[in-house]
Amino acid sequence: MKGPRPTPRSSRARVRGATIAAFVALAPLLPAAAVAVGTLKVDAALPYVCTLPSGPQPATVRITAAFPERAEAGEEIRPADVTTTVEFPGAAVAELTALKAATVRAESRLAVGVAQGEQRAEATWSGTAQPVAVPAEGPLTLTTTGDVSSLTTGTEGELSLTAGAFGVDLALSTAEGAATVPASLSVACAPAPDAEGRTVFARVPVGAGAPTGGPGTAAPSPDASSPSSPVPGLPLPPLPSDPAAPGDTAGTATEDPGAGPRADEGLKAADEDTPGAPAPRPAAPPCVTKDPTPMSLSAYITGYSNVRKQDGASLIPLTCVLMEQGDPEIVFGGTEEEPETHLINKAVGRLSTQGRQETPPFKGTFLTFGFAPTTATLVLEQAGPMALYSDTLLSYPYNISETYVRVPLVLRVLDARVNGTKLDVGPSCRTEKPLSSTEPDPATYPGDHMVLVGKGLSTFGGDAKGYLLTGGGPLVGKVTIPAFKGCGAKGENLDRLLTASISGSDNYVRQIQGQTCNILNPFPPINPECTDDGQPYQVPRAER
């Protein structure tokens, strides 16, 4: 089970008018003193599986919070005293000590599914922790606290909260206070299979007609060290093990089978298409913008580059791109008879890998001369500014965009093995000039550089599709890989071998750009764009 499960639609189920508004605005935590009589206390410990660099590891995620035992329709429900604790086993801790980590500071994100009857909303509970010492052995417990979203629903009925995907970023420091290498780990976790049926951790009745017949209830949590403690003295009905289970009666008090929406009114479609919670952020290399401005954007990019001569492709790994966008401009063009309005966006960018303008190293495996398997460790080095130019034709009802990414890249060979035997390529084995593409505007953009193009389209009232400037998408092009020079050592010249194996034209490149992160965006987006420390949240996957 990965994240909250959608509630199956029972045959009796009808879409009701309830709409849950998960406030984007953050509600600061209430002090403990504000939580008095009439408070539902939640303490749930759930089994999770976390993906560490070495592979999946079991972990326990414990959620504590306090809710009002009952709320009125339209009343803001503010979770208080929220803590999220993750306990990693000793095996996971060993991975941190192997990096010489002595202290760790955690930032967590818990996807919380909020449901009322058929209605769904999602919230992310973020938390931070003070640095704690990494134990030499044994489990590591990290408790985070932070701001969480308040909830409001305009309709009566039981509100349930379900734990979903959990992510934690670990900032690691050595005993001397220096950053480890890597300096951080992003760990993605999902409820373990045996958590199924237990991920609902709180139920809050809303309105006098709420269906439970009692106050809010914390979901049973057999693993909790301190079991849920609803307000004493009030009768509690037996809880279904999962709101999704057959026979679930949540919401039946207000359900009116005859009052469902008309089939053509969109409610049904919207309900069936309820999106899920954002997945926790997979591990990705650091992508930090120092001294960001309001125009600073950052994004990850990854994808494949064919080597036509070898009839193969190399995966160019996740690479951080830092950009500085210019002011968008409206430009008028076209002809007198058919005038056009264009929106021009320009930006300059650079690759960023541990402070160097290059990709992380990646491997390419080729058959040299058609029979000798050759594996090379490669890196693309940026040899000049990256220019981004986006031209959007603003017609009605269409917006049509073309985005050009131009960047001079030199392909460097760090290491090569033929038939398993290492070749000493020397310290300066590179293409003799940058990779090049056919440039549609050579007067403006002279010199050798790669050109990738992304195309997007939106219609008035329709979803935008394709490559979207800040949303990302596929960027494609073809490059010529020049001859190599400087390859070899101890009198052996490998230039011709590598040139014969790799260099050539018409190599198709397809890179996938992720959603950009506008670090100083004052308005938090519905889908997270940035991590709490200002790095791109979305990690794209390479596509062929």
Partner 1 sequence: MKKSIRNLAVVAGGASAAFALAVSPASAVPSTVWTVSPSPASITALNSGNVALSVNGITMTCTKSNGAGTGASTTGNPATVGTITTMVFGATGAPCTSVLGPVTAVPVTPWTIVAQDYNAATGVTSGYVGNVDANVSVGACNFRVTGKASSTYTNSTGALTVNSLAGELTVVTSSGCGSAVPVGAKPTFKGKYLFKAGTAIPTIVGSNP
Among 8, 17, 213, 447, the residue binding partner 1 under the rule CB under 8 A is: 17
Q: Does 472 bind partner 1 (CB under 8 A)?
A: yes
Q: Does 389 bind partner 1 (CB under 8 A)?
A: no
Among 135, 227, 237, 266, the residue binding partner 1 under the rule CB under 8 A is: 266
Q: Does 534 bind partner 1 (CB under 8 A)?
A: no
Identity of the residue, 135 or 524, whose beta carbon is nearer to partner 1 in the bound complex:
524
Among 32, 462, 492, 493, the residue binding partner 1 under the rule CB under 8 A is: 462
Q: Does 460 bind partner 1 (CB under 8 A)?
A: yes
Among 265, 272, 506, 543, the residue binding partner 1 under the rule CB under 8 A is: 265
- Cα–Cα distance for residue pair 504/167, rounded to 1 Å: 43
In Å, what is the CA distance from 351 to each residue of 199, 239, 297, 367, 511? 41, 53, 12, 30, 14
Q: Which stretch binds partner 1 (CB under 8 A): 178-186, 189-197, 325-333, 497-505?
A: 325-333
Q: Does 153 bind partner 1 (CB under 8 A)?
A: yes
Among 194, 329, 506, 543, the residue binding partner 1 under the rule CB under 8 A is: 329
Q: Does 305 bind partner 1 (CB under 8 A)?
A: no
Q: Quote the strand ranges of 211-284, DSSP E.
A: 217-218
Q: Does 275 bind partner 1 (CB under 8 A)?
A: yes
Q: Does 263 bind partner 1 (CB under 8 A)?
A: no
We find the least distance from the C-beta atom of residue 518 to partner 1, in angstroms, to be 5
Residue 79: CB atoms within 10 A of its CB come to: 26
Query: In the range 478-517, which residues lie near partner 1 by CB under 8 A?
Result: 515-516
Among 233, 273, 290, 490, the residue binding partner 1 under the rule CB under 8 A is: 273
Residue 311 tokens read as 């009839």
Q: Which stretch binds partner 1 (CB under 8 A): 86-94, 147-155, 218-226, 487-495?
A: 147-155
Site mask for partner 1 (CB under 8 A), range 401-440, x = bound:
x---------------------------------------
Query: In the range 105-134, which residues lie near partner 1 by CB under 8 A?
Result: 121-122
Residue 384 tokens read as 């000049």
- Cα–Cα distance for residue pair 62/45, rounded to 1 Å: 4
Residue identified by tokens 């509600």 is: 27
Among 29, 200, 450, 468, the residue binding partner 1 under the rule CB under 8 A is: 468
- Cα–Cα distance for residue pair 225/43, rounded to 1 Å: 8
Q: Which stretch binds partner 1 (CB under 8 A): 12-20, 45-53, 171-179, 355-363?
A: 12-20
We find the least distance from the C-beta atom of residue 459 to partner 1, in angstroms, to be 7
CA nearest neighbour of 322 among 294, 346, 357: 357
Bridge partners for 360 per DSSP: none
- Cα–Cα distance for residue pair 516/388, rounded to 1 Å: 13
Among 95, 156, 242, 358, the residue binding partner 1 under the rule CB under 8 A is: 156
Which amino acid is residue 78, in one-letter code? R
Q: Which stretch binds partner 1 (CB under 8 A): 177-185, 214-222, 237-245, 388-396?
A: 388-396
Residue identified by tokens 């289970």 is: 245
We find the least distance from the C-beta atom of residue 261 to partner 1, in angstroms, to be 7
Size of the site for partner 1 (CB under 8 A): 85
- Cα–Cα distance for residue pair 377/431, rounded to 1 Å: 14
ω into 360 cis (within 30 of 0): no
Q: What is the 3-state secondary structure (H, E, C) of 293-316?
A: CCCEEEEEEEEEEEEHHHCEEEEE
Query: In the range 45-104, which residues lie near partner 1 by CB under 8 A?
Result: 73-74
Residue identified by tokens 């009839």 is: 311
We find the least distance from the C-beta atom of residue 511 to partner 1, in angstroms, to be 17
We find the least distance from the C-beta atom of residue 336 to partner 1, in angstroms, to be 9
We find the least distance from the C-beta atom of residue 111 to partner 1, in angstroms, to be 9
Helices (H), 209-341: 267-272
Query: In the range 338-357, which residues lie near partner 1 by CB under 8 A?
Result: 339-341, 343, 345
Q: Does 337 bind partner 1 (CB under 8 A)?
A: no
Say if residues 216 and 207 touch (Cβ distance below 8 Å).
Answer: no
Residue identified by tokens 């790994």 is: 317
CA torsion 477-478-482-484 (nearest 10°) is 80
Helices (H), 71-186: 90-98
Among 57, 296, 431, 437, the residue binding partner 1 under the rule CB under 8 A is: 296
Among 291, 332, 443, 446, the residue binding partner 1 under the rule CB under 8 A is: 332
Query: In the range 161-220, which residues lie near partner 1 by CB under 8 A?
Result: none
CA nearest neighbour of 279 among 24, 53, 528, 524: 528
In Å, what is the CA distance from 345 to each residue of 335, 358, 496? 22, 24, 42
Radius of gyration of the chain (CA): 27
Query: In the range 222-261, which residues lie near partner 1 by CB under 8 A?
Result: 254-256, 259, 261
Report the residue count for the chain: 544
Q: Which stretch binds partner 1 (CB under 8 A): 94-102, 194-202, 224-232, 518-526?
A: 518-526
